[in-house]
Structures are given as C-alpha cells and as structure tokens.
Amino acid sequence: METISIQETWNIYRLGLKKPLRELVAAITGQGFEIRFITPCVPDLLSLEKDLKFNDIEEDVSFALVSPDDLGLKKGWTRKQYLDAALGNGLILPLSGDILEILGSGRYQPVKERSILEVGMMPIHIGTEFIYFVVGCSEDRKYLSNHNGNLEQRWEYNTHPYRKHLFRIQN
C-alpha cells in the first residue's frame, strides 16, 4: 500500500487535564449531548471508568480526520487494516479518553451539520464485546455512543465523505 501524506490538522486540543470521569460526563451532557450505549455489556459511560485511557501529561495534541478512502482502503476493509494503514501513514491511535476530553472541553465543532465521527481507537474489550466511540450530530440531536466490532470485522459499506475517523497526528 502506498504511503500518503497526512498533513492537515483538523484541530488541536489540550488533553491530560485529569478531570474526574463524572465531571467529564456532566460537562458533555451539559452541552446537550446524549450519552447512549448500544451494547448490553456497557450500561453507561461511568461503568467504563477502569477501561478508559487518558493522557498522562497535560499537553496540546493535534488531530486529523481521515477516511478509509484517504488511506487507500476499498470496500471490505477490516478495522485492523484501517488502524494499520493509519499507523503506517504517521498517525497515532487516539486514547479511549481523548474524545471524552475533547467533548468535555466545550470546543468540539462537528465537521458539518449532519455528521458521524468515529474514533480511530483500539477497541475496548469488555467480556466478549469490543467497542469504540462514535459522536453524532444533526440539526436536533448530539450524541456520544459506541459501535461494536473487533479488529477482524469487515466493513462492507462504501466509504462516504462523512465517515471520517479521528486520529492523533504524530509530533
């Protein structure tokens, strides 16, 4: 696979602020986000506290939005192929807590009015389930949710421009 150049920074966020999870959840819901999980093994975000990873130090982190198409992947890619292609192009996997700090900062702006943002993170393994985070925004609703899928799951949908995934940019 040919290496591409990821130079476009979507946004820079200050992470590693070490806010308690309850405080982040309150900040996220206070901005009108609904937090919902579609996996029975995760009743709510607070139940994931021990599984979430946050930045160890306070620092500015640059992010890019990248689609499978941007990385040269075609219909039928697996999540492992996607993450490997991103890593091979100088991107870094976001920590599971990154999106929570981003949303909790109050600075998140959707790419467009109707958007779905998937986080290019390594899935969290809970029991027999694998989950990762998704942020959706429409005219009347904002939500943080999860998708299921292990690393070998094939994605058969055609890539759409709004199917961007969030990755860290390597410094």
Structure tokens at 96: 């599971």
Asked if pLDDT for residue 47 goes beyond 60, the answer is yes
Which helix (H) or strand (E) element contains residue 21? helix 21-30
- Its pTM stands at 0.86
Q: What's the longest Cα–Cα distance across the chain?
A: 43
Phi first, then psi: give them for residue 11, nearest 5 degrees.
-165, 160
Q: Please state which of the ranges 19-28, 75-84, 110-119, 141-150 shows the lowest mean pLDDT.
A: 110-119
At residue 161 the predicted structure's pLDDT band, cuts being 50, 70 and 90, is very low
Q: What is the mean pLDDT of residues 113-129?
A: 82
How far is it, in rounded angstroms, from Cα 153 to Cα 126? 16
